[in-house]
Amino acid sequence: MKFPMIKWAKELFPICRSLTGEGNRKTIKYFMNLNPELKVLKFKSGTKVFDWNIPNEWNIKDAYIQHQSGKKFAEFKKNNLHLVGYSVPVNKKISKKELLKRIFTQSDQPNVVPYVTSYYNKTWGFCMSLNEKKKLPKGKYKVFIDSALKKGNLDIAHCLIKGKKKQEILFSSYICHPSMANNELSGPVLLNAILLYLKATYKKPTYSYRFVLVPETIGAIAYISKHLSSLKKRVISGFQLTCTGDERAYTAVHTPNANSLTDQAISSALLGLKNVKEFSFKHRGSDERQYCAPGVELPVCSFSRSKDYPEYHTDKDDFKVVTQKGLDGSFNVMKNIIDAFETGVYPKNIYLCEPNLGKRNLYTTNISQKGTYGQELYTRKHLLAYANGKRSIFEISNILKIPLKTILDQYKILKQKKVLR
């Protein structure tokens, strides 16, 4: 099953998203057209959520720097990363010396436009490459920012696909970055593909599945503040999706416990893939920080392709970084995890001692001689040996160092033959 995630990402790329505002609502509306089950949850500006307050809503129409000659620089309409996120409105003339103090660059990458924000301090600024900044001509400049900061809402999209069990698997991503492909759009488009796959494949799933799209940090905090009790009661596994669109690596940041069902699941799903990197919770970076925080302590890990990459938080994070192949690779990892949950998390051998595989045509050879057992039969026999109903299919995969998909394929065969349940 294939989903045109790269198409979705390219269509959403021009939208200027932030913590709040019309850009976020446009993005949510786009995803609601794909998945009508998604509903909007609003938090009014000023609402207290734990130790935080929802900020005023920010909207932006235009921004630029204009030299006295009439030439424009750092034009927002050409690249929305040129404006510091949440900049207050400005319309005035200043000297070049004053202007330079308001221009942000990335000194170690002189050709990139950096992504810069100031959500909670009222200020303004522009971003450009260091090389462009050095070439700014002498003279007077006009700075123009047509923005508005006022009372409004912070918007979240979420849905719960109810299963036979109330226990939930959580998928979360964020919708607060402007035009960057990997560090923003890859996660939300992957989440929506997973939701579409779940609905198409499991009409009445065994487990319940919760999908959440929030502005990073403050949005996750707001969502948890409203759903803390039910989340703590029902979420047995969760995955924060971030930077999931490149082809360079497969990366997991584990939960603080490091051996939860989630940790077992992500490790087993990454077995056999190239360039796998697994980190402890000390390397947390996205909303796993909130889901795993003391007192919340949900079993949520972070999943990405590349955790650290040179284009991160710059205008070079584009569709040279994110590809359909990269997104498909991430989708397959999450798909295998869902399939495992729906096939059965804790396989159990129905019989005492080893079951007779021969009478069920489960041997891959008609003779017994050393060297004649293939990997398929070894996997089958290993799975039966460890399937005590207490070890998860993920744990068994990790013990055997056999990829989850391979274990899952044999599990389905043995269930069909009524050897496992």
Give the DSSP letter of residue 183. Answer: I
pLDDT-derived band of residue 365, with 50, 70 and 90 as boundaries?
low
Answer yes or no: are the C-beta atoms of 107 and 73 closer than 8 Å. no
Q: Are residues 35 and 143 in the same domain?
A: no
Q: Are residues 43 and 29 in the same domain?
A: yes
Q: Are residues 281 and 314 in the same domain?
A: yes
Calculate the alpha carbon distances from 413 to 81, 336, 342 in Å. Answer: 52, 16, 15
Strand partners, 278: 252
pLDDT-derived band of residue 421, with 50, 70 and 90 as boundaries?
confident
Q: What is the pLDDT of residue 364?
A: 63
Domain, as residue range, for 126 = 58-150
Tell me the whole-structure pTM to 2 decimals: 0.95
Q: Are residues 93 and 211 in the same domain?
A: no
pLDDT-derived band of residue 377, with 50, 70 and 90 as boundaries?
confident
pLDDT-derived band of residue 132, with 50, 70 and 90 as boundaries?
very high
Q: What is the pLDDT of residue 212?
A: 98
Instruction: Over range 339-365, report the average pLDDT.
Output: 85
Percent of the chain with pLDDT strictly greater than 90: 90
Which of 19, 118, 220 has its CA nearest to residue 126? 118
Give the DSSP letter of residue 113. Answer: P
CATH number at residue 137: 3.50.30.90
Amino acid at position 159, single letter:
C
Output the average pLDDT for the chain: 95
Q: Are residues 328 and 376 in the same domain?
A: no
Q: Is the pLDDT of residue 78 over 90?
A: yes
Instruction: Over range 137-149, report the average pLDDT.
Output: 98
Q: What is the pLDDT of residue 372?
A: 45
Q: Is the pLDDT of residue 367 over 70?
A: no
Answer yes or no: are the C-beta atoms of 9 and 185 closer than 8 Å. yes
Instruction: Over range 11-37, report the average pLDDT.
Output: 98
Region label for 107, one of left (φ > 0), alpha (ψ between -120 and 50) or beta (otherwise): alpha
CATH number at residue 171: 3.40.630.10
Which of 407, 398, 417 has its CA nearest to residue 351? 417
Q: Is the pLDDT of residue 369 over 50?
A: no
Domain boundary among 119, 150, 181: 150
Strand partners, 148: 59
